[in-house]
Amino acid sequence: MNKESGLTAADKEMIIVAFSAKNGCSYCVQSHGASLRVQSGNPYIADQVAINYKEADITERERAMIDFAMKVSFDSASVNEKDFEILKGYGFRDEDIWDINGITAFYNMSNRLMSFLAVHPDEPFYSMGRS
Domain extent listing, the chain: 9-126
pTM above 0.85? yes
pLDDT of amino acid 105: 97
Residue 122 is classified by DSSP as P
pLDDT of amino acid 5: 80
pLDDT of amino acid 131: 79
Class of domain 9-126: mainly alpha
User: Percentage of the chain surpassing pLDDT 70?
Assistant: 97
Which amino acid is present at 37?
R
**Residue 3 confidence class, pLDDT cut points 50, 70, 90:** low
pLDDT of amino acid 11: 98
Residue 44 Cα distances to 33, 49, 110, angstroms: 10, 9, 24
Q: What is the mean predicted confidence (pLDDT) over 45-74?
A: 98
List of residues 6+ apart from 60 with CB closer than 8 A: 90
pLDDT of amino acid 1: 56
pLDDT of amino acid 2: 58
User: Closest by alpha carbon to 80, among 90, 72, 91?
Assistant: 72
pLDDT tens digits, residue range 18-52? 999 999 999 999 999 999 999 999 999 999 999 99
